[in-house]
Chain A
Amino acid sequence: AQKITQTQPGMFVQEKEAVTLDCTYDTSDPSYGLFWYKQPSSGEMIFLIYQGSYDQQNATEGRYSLNFQKARKSANLVISASQLGDSAMYFCARNTGNQFYFGTGTSLTVIP
């Protein structure tokens, strides 16, 4: 099975605090990519961060970082210094080549 699991349907975080969104995956492919996307209420899917399965270091993009633990098959997204504009759905995805598999998403609400 090519399953992506996001166990947190909803999360709340205080503004300016950090939050971790969980993602685990199941694959037997030796090479794959891991992605996080943000989907605000407008509907657009915004690419946030990418981690390759062979990358030695965790990916970082501004306030986003990916906590990649290959042996555990987890790729958690860490958002530091949360802002009100971070309130959105967040989807984890894994690919092998062109084939993408998405998780069910986590709804994040940032509280002022």
Chain B
Amino acid sequence: GAVVSQHPSRVICKSGTSVKIECRSLDFQATTMFWYRQFPKQSLMLMATSNEGSKATYEQGVEKDKFLINHASLTLSTLTVTSAHPEDSSFYICSAIRAETFTDTQYFGPGTRLTVL
């Protein structure tokens, strides 16, 4: 299979603190990982594309200084929400593409529900 994990699954934090979310590909190497944000009853909104060993590519309107992405290895990407505010509360979900596949299928993690008080 193609298993992607995310940690933590849920996090509650105070306004002004930073939160780190980890995304791991457990049984494959992922040259590219993606970070999405999803609001209730809406589709996924791509935040950024993360390539191993290089800077992430952010979508228009996404603050790179607020949402720090690091892709340090072929199996791990992290998203850090800095100085979180209540409007950052959302469902964050990552995905990864297997390095050796032809179809570019994205395999998703289980998501992280962030609540900022």
What B residues does A44 contact at CB under 8 A?
Answer: 108-111
What B residues does A12 contact at CB under 8 A?
Answer: none
* B residues 43-97 in Cβ contact with A at 8 Å: 43-44, 46, 49, 91, 93, 95, 97
What A residues does B107 contact at CB under 8 A?
Answer: 47
Given contacts A43-B93, A105-B43, contact A100 B106 (CB under 8 A): yes
Question: Number of contact residues on B: which range applies?
Answer: 20 to 34
What A residues does B103 contact at CB under 8 A?
Answer: 33, 50, 52
Q: Could you give, for residues 96-117 of chain B, a 1 whenever the CB lies within 8 Å of some chain A CB and a 0 otherwise?
A: 0100000111111111010000
Q: How far is the CB of A3 from chain B (nearest CB, A)?
A: 12
Q: Say whether A102 contacts B43, CB under 8 Å.
A: yes
Total residues of chain A contacting the partner, CB 8 A: 20
Q: Chain A interface (Cβ within 8 Å of chain B)?
A: 33, 35, 37, 42-47, 50, 52, 91, 95, 97-98, 100, 102-105
Task: List 6 tightest A-B contacts by C-beta distance, closest first.
Answer: A45-B108, A43-B111, A44-B110, A102-B43, A104-B43, A102-B44
Q: Chain B interface (Cβ within 8 Å of chain A)?
A: 2, 32, 34, 38, 42-44, 46, 49, 91, 93, 95, 97, 103-111, 113
